[in-house]
Each structure stands twice: as structure tokens, then as C-alpha cells.
Amino acid sequence: MANVVVVGAQWGDEGKGKIVDWLSERADVIARFQGGHNAGHTLVINGTVFKLSLLPSGIVRPGKLAVIGNGVVLDPWSLFAEIEKLQAQGVEISTENLMIAENTPLILPLHQDLDQLREAAAGKAKIGTTGRGIGPAYEDKVGRRTIRVADLGDDETLESRIDRLLAHHDALRIGLGAAPIDRAELTAKLKEIAPKLLSFAQPVWKVLGEVRRAGKRILFEGAQGSLLDIDFGTYPYVTSSTTMSGMAATGTGMGPSAIGFVMGIVKAYTTRVGEGPFPSELFDADGVRLGERGHEFGTVTGRKRRCGWFDAVLVRQTCQISGVNGIALTKLDVLDGFETLKICVGYELDGVHYDYLPTAAVLQARVKPIYEEMDGWQESTAGARSWAELPAAAIKYVRRVEELIHCPVAMLSTSPERDDTILVTDPFAD
């Protein structure tokens, strides 16, 4: 059976939650493989809105196993708050349908403190993080001083890990004008939550291996977007993890051969939250219209998203790097009613033409978009569930996107509702 990886192919907020939820009907296991509770996935099912940050989107489907992999950084307090919120909406969550990798690193209150202290100190040079401690938690993982889920099971190990962690963080806090960590309070919080968290802990790599050998289907769920990747994103205005498809293997303990189909989620226009370059950003009435019609506010932070025309250069770039086999094009209905649509097909800088986004930050900030114009459509695409229901101009737009990004459309989403989806290629097909 083919296993599917879902990644965002822009700056996040592409509609991964709905697509993963839709695909999860065909999967047995849904595994989240990177990021933290800075992610925001919104699902609309029969009129009910579910907002997820840490939990895999498949958790709302009965009979599915949801997995949080080792590539995630986990805030346990946020996790259980999210679980309680979903349970209040009628979603059943227990150790029967949720599993957390034993080697998952934890986000602690001190990570959130450091994140916010740094952003405040940076002033105009701030990166625009969510302030939830994601970056500092990944730093501690790489610095070999993190506390992982399994460490909570032994008091001596936990005390040792806390010693090593505070030796680093107390020095940083003093330098930033903050008081040292209250060690006793931190230890008490961890010991209090340990039994609850450990009840979900499993050797995920082993369980997923058994699932694969049994011929069951695995859906790997990414967070954020490819343009926020720590290596290939618009650095330094990026997240602190690898958001490309390859992380699905290392972020869950599966080998690369476990990946069968890579689905890139792509919005029919472009948005971005926070700081950083955005070549096709609009500052006119069209940009306002996209934001209003698309309800472009961050699921996690509530921040207003910057909006612009579809950038085929960036999507072509991310599709190649992630090895995308097909895209899910979302929010096509937001473009309804525009007389003219534009697609960015290249960049110009000092008389030089670029068919990719340069790596140097100074160049990224200065490139100018080269646009191709297309006729819009006045008919509604909202709720369309077949090609026959789409206006001819909308189909032409979709086909042109495919040509420009060198990748076919596998799915087309025409509203936030789960069933308002046109399937072109089943990614789970053998």
C-alpha cells in the first residue's frame, strides 16, 4: 500500500487540516512528524469547526490511530488543553487512538519565556515567531540538553536533565535581564504531568514498522510550510524544523522507502504570517479582498495574514525540493469574481531575470515579481465537487498553475467543508 506525506508548499496556512482530514478516511494511521503547537489546522465538519495545533488532524475520525512523532517538539500542557477542548466537542481521545513517541522532546515554560524575551530584545530585527518556545526547544534538542518524554519515567534521569538544561538557560536569562528558573517549581510541574503523558508514550518507530508490514496505510502530516523550512525557506524568517517531505521519515522513525506519494498543499493565491520577504504581496484593494474573502487570520495567533497573487516560482521550487507528486489546490473559491487574475512567473532584479528565489536575504528582499495576467470568472466555484461544475476560466487557471509549477493537481478544494473536494488522483493508489 502507498503511504502519503502531506506538506505545505508555501508559507503555511494552505489548508492542510482539511486535506489531511479528507485523506485520513483512506488511512489507518495519521502521524505528525515535525513542528509544535505553533501549527494551526482548522477542520470544518458538518458545520462544526475543530481547531488543532498539536494533535494530528485524523484524531477527529473514529477508528484511526493518531501519532505524534519524535520530530515534533511537544508542550504537554498545551497538548492536554487541546485534548480537553476536543473532548468537549465530542471527539474521543484516549491511549487507544493517540500515541506519542518516547523520544519526543518537550517544550517547557522556560522555552516560551526565552522565545518571548529574545523577540522583545530584537526590536525591529525580530523574526516574527509565535512566542511558543518552538525554536528554543529545537535548540536544546540539537544541543543535547533537552528533556524527552521517556526521561519523565525515572527521577534520577529527570533531575540530571534538569541540571544540564538550567545550566544553559539560567545564563541566557541573566543576560536578557530575567530571573533564573525556579528549579523546584519546574520539577514539580514535570513530575505532576509525567504519569499522564507517559500513558501515551510508545516506541513509535516500532509500531509504525508493524503497521507497514501489515499492509496498512500511513498518512504523514506536516506542519507550517516549505518556505518556512530551516534550510530552504526564507531564512532567517523561518521555523526551526525541517518542513520538507524528507522529515516524515526521520520525524517518525520510518525509512525513506516508507514514503510512497508526496502531496503538496497549495493555496490558489499566496499568504504569509509574520516577517520576511514576500515578492507577490499586495498592498491594494485586491490584497484586502483576498484577505477578507479568505478569512486570512492565523489559527494559532489570530494575526492578520499578508496576501498576494499566486507565486508559481516559489511553488515550483518547493515542489522540486520536497519531491511533490501532486498538489492539492485549495481556496479556489476565494478568487471568484475577480475580473483579472495575476500569477507570478519570475522575478526581476537590477535588469536580471530569475526563475527561482535567490538564497541571499538581501536579494530576496529586493526581487520584483513578473506577472502573467489571466481572465477571471464571475461564476461561483464554492462547493464544486466535479470539473463539470467549474467555470471554464477557473479550469484554465488551474491548468496554467500545473504548467508553471511542473506538477499536476491531484485534488482541488472549493470550500472549507470536507466533501467540497474534487479528487483527480488518489494518492493512496498502488
Supply the residues annotated as catalytic. 13, 41
DSSP 8-state class, residue 357: -
Q: What is the distance between the alpha carbons of residues 48 and 393, in angstroms, rounded to a whole number?
A: 32
Alpha-helical (H) ranges within 281-337 are 285-293, 312-322
Long-range own/partner contacts, residues 378-381 (CB < 8 A, 24 or more apart):
378/336, 378/337, 379/336, 380/333, 380/336, 381/332, 381/333, 381/335, 381/336, 381/414
DSSP string over 234-247: STTSS-SS--STTH
Question: Strand pairing partners for 67?
Answer: 31, 99
3-state secondary structure of 164: helix
236 cis-preceded (ω within 30 degrees of 0): yes
Q: Cβ(373)–Cβ(341) under 8 Å?
A: yes
Q: Which residue has the cell 478516511?
A: 25
Q: In the structure grid, which three cell numbers stand for residue 113, read together?
A: 519565556
From residue 205, alpha-carbon distances to 67, 250, 399 in Å are 10, 10, 39
For the chain, give the number of residues. 430
Q: Cβ(30)–Cβ(56) under 8 Å?
A: yes
Pairing, β 218-221 against β 29-32: parallel
Q: What is the distance between the alpha carbons of residues 256 and 264, in angstroms, rounded to a whole number?
A: 17
CA atoms within 13 A on the CB side of 118: 19
Q: In the structure grid, which three cell numbers stand for residue 344, read together?
A: 507570478
Q: What is the distance between the alpha carbons of residues 338 and 369, in angstroms, rounded to a whole number?
A: 20
Among 359, 334, 418, 381, smallest CA distance to 26 is for 418
**Residue 261: CB partners within 8 Å, gap ≥ 6?**
2, 3, 4, 5, 325, 326, 427, 428
Alpha-helical (H) ranges within 327-428 are 361-364, 392-405
